[in-house]
Amino acid sequence: MHEQIEHYDVVILGAGAAGLFCAAIAGARGRRVLVLEKANKVGKKILMSGGGRCNFTNLVIEPENFVSGNPHFCKSALSRYTQWDFIALVERYRIDYEERAHGQLFCQNSAQDILTMLLQECDTAGVTISSRCEVKTIDTVADSICRFSVEFDQGRNTEKVNRSVVCQSLVVATGALSIPSLGGSGFGYDIAEQFSLALTERSAGLVPFMFSDATKLLCERLAGVALEVEVCCNDQSFTENILFTHRGVSGPVVLQISNYWCPGNTVAINLLPYLDANDWLLQSKRDQGHSLLRTVLAQKLPKALVAELQTLWWLNDAERKLTDYSDLRLTELADLVDSWLLKPSGTEGYRTAEVTLGGVDTGGISSRTMEARAHEGLFFIGEVLDVSGHLGGYNFQWAWSSGFCAGQYV
Ligand SMILES: Cc1cc2nc3c(=O)[nH]c(=O)nc-3n(C[C@H](O)[C@H](O)[C@H](O)COP(=O)(O)OP(=O)(O)OC[C@H]3O[C@@H](n4cnc5c(N)ncnc54)[C@H](O)[C@@H]3O)c2cc1C
């Protein structure tokens, strides 16, 4: 084992979306940049994102699309590097992309196009990227508050080289806890704590719900059924698809609301979001009074779901014609359809979560530069911060915007 000491202007920890983008911006300013990545490959989450097509941004980006202890923190970065800036870059590289529902932009071919673009930008800017680098310690260099020494082992387990780098600016872009197999790690939080920065509580976000009660069996029986619903929890609501699975419920609407759900909360599902269920059932009583309730509901909802709802809500009246129901009873049933209450026992956790909620408390970070207020030269960008986006390209836009801001100042 031998040791070398190198000097760089900027060391960036983590070659994910935020780290690579920040490196390219800083390198283009003429800074000597080294990116250290612990995994064998860079940008693993980019490659896995959006089902392999990377939902790289959204046509509509608003601060309301982000969850943070300080909802104002993201505004500055998002306005200084916008979705239009990133779209212009994508177009400059002639990457084919398409707009899907809710303004989401995806690569038409492969997420690899975005990673290749980022690596090309880094290459043009003269950035050095080293993978298989496990950072061990970070210290401030004696008598200076804005110089850091980074020690790390490089190489495969059998042939480790211990390297030391001294830099002026250190950027923590190590991401967060979600999906450990794709690089999820708590290392950024350890660094924050080392420098006495506060952390907010962390939990899995954009994640499916699980159940421990009878709903678990219902979900198992409905596994594979999907439909568009509105889901509400804690004064937030989303209208998109829900998907029943063997473990519980998933689909975009569930991932979205999971960002606002706390353990113990109930979620309310409106099964007919575009219809006044009460008016419709009363009208159906008049128009198709000889039909069964399940037959009428199956005109708008999947048959398998209606069968489960019948067991839950009107089993004793299952064979009665609609005309034999009182208006009051139909109104009660319409209320249930409008607001089916489910109480998840938990989420699937970091194993499948797309993001981590919470992180480095933004109170200690400049929203303009992403630099720690109390530690000149120490920057935090991307998901390690307490800023999490909705589903729909918002998390990548946060990586680009926060990476850009730090890249201007490192
Ligand atoms: C399956 C999946 C699909 C997703 N799809 C989308 C999508 O389509 N659109 C969207 O906007 N968002 C999506 N997201 C969220 C998005 O991927 C993340 O928010 C984004 O990647 C965060 O970027 P980051 O650079 O902060 O962190 P990351 O991309 O996680 O990068 C952090 C990097 O740091 C490295 N690292 C960790 N610890 C160390 C260490 N000690 N030393 C050196 N390196 C270290 C990791 O290996 C990793 O490469 C998805 C997430 C997942 C899990």
Residue 151 in this model has a pLDDT that exceeds 90 = no
- 276 C-alpha to ligand 1 centroid (Å): 41
Judge if the beta carbon of residue 86 lies within 6 A of ligand 1. no
> What average pLDDT does range 7-27 have in this prediction?
97
pLDDT at 374: 93
If you average pLDDT over residues 251-257, what whole number do you get?
98
The amino acid at residue 264 is: G
Distance CA 20, CA 122 (A): 7
Contact 200, 70 (CB under 8 A): no
- Report d(CA 196, CA 205) in Å as an integer: 25
Q: What are the phi and psi torsion angles at 134 (to 5°)?
A: -95, 110
Q: How far is the CA of 22 from the centre of ligand 1 (A)?
A: 14
The pick from 42, 45, 131 for probing ligand 1's pocket by mutation, whose C-beta has the most ligand atoms within 8 angstroms, reads: 45
User: Is 185 close to ligand 1, i.e. is its CB under 6 Å away?
Assistant: yes
Q: Is the CB of 399 under 6 A from ligand 1?
A: yes
CA distance 240 to 252: 6
Write the residue with the smallest CA distance to atom 51 of ligand 1. 354
CB within 8 Å of 314: residues ≥ 6 apart = 293, 333
- Contact (Cβ atoms closer than 8 angstroms) between residue 269 and residue 231: yes
pLDDT in tens, 82-126: 999 999 999 999 999 999 999 999 999 999 999 999 999 999 999
What predicted TM-score, i.e. pTM, was given to this entire model? 0.95
* Residue-range domains of the chain with CATH: 3-202+358-409 (3.50.50.60), 209-347 (2.40.30.10)
Pairing of strands 161-172, 148-154: antiparallel
pLDDT at position 99 is 98
Whole-number pLDDT of residue 182: 82
Tens digit of each residue's pLDDT (9 = 90 or more) over 178-212: 888 887 789 999 999 999 999 999 999 999 999 99
Q: Where are the beta strands (DSSP E) in 123-180?
A: 128-130, 133-140, 148-154, 161-172
Q: Which atom of ligand 1 is nearest to the CA of 106?
A: 8
Least confident of 127-131, 175-179, 370-374: 175-179
Question: Residue 403: CB within 6 Å of ligand 1?
Answer: no
Are 370 and 379 spatial neighbours (Cβ–Cβ below 8 Å)?
A: yes
Question: Which residues are CB-neighbours of 259 under 8 A, at least 6 positions away?
Answer: 67, 205, 206, 355, 357, 388, 390
Q: Could you tell me whether strands 226-233 and 267-270 are parallel, antiparallel, or unpaired per DSSP bridges?
A: antiparallel
Give yes or no for residue 373 having a pLDDT over 70. yes
Sign of the torsion formed by the C-alpha atoms of 172, 66, 60 and 252? positive
Residue 382 has pLDDT above 90, yes or no: yes
Beta strands 209-210 and 248-250, pairing class: antiparallel
Going by alpha carbons, the residue nearest to atom 31 of ligand 1 is 16
Give the residue with greater pLDDT, 149 vs 80: 80
Query: How high is the mean pLDDT of the chain?
Result: 95
pLDDT of residue 3: 60
Ligand 1 contact, 13 CB (< 6 A): yes
Angstrom CA distances, 199 to 113, 158, 193, 196, 400, stand at: 34, 36, 8, 9, 22
Q: What is the whole-number distance in angstroms between the Cα of residue 80 and the centre of ligand 1?
A: 22
**Residue 65, ligand 1, Cβ within 6 A:** no
Task: Evaluate whether 19 touches 133 at the Cβ level (below 8 Å).
Answer: no
Contact 179, 351 (CB under 8 A): yes
222 Cβ closer than 6 Å to some ligand 1 atom:
no
Tokens of 264: 């113990």
Residue 355 beta carbon below 6 angstroms from any ligand 1 atom: yes
pLDDT at residue 152, as a whole number: 76
CA of 259 to the centre of ligand 1 (A): 17
pLDDT range class, residue 362, cuts 50, 70, 90: very high
Q: Is 324 helix (H, G, I), strand (E, B) or coil?
A: helix
The helix/strand/coil state of 24 is helix
Ligand 1, atom 26, lies closest to the CA of: 382
Assess contact for 349 and 180: CB atoms under 8 A. Answer: no
pLDDT given at position 158:
63
Residue 384 CA, chain-centre distance (Å), reads 12
- Asked if the model's pLDDT at residue 144 lies above 70, the reply is no
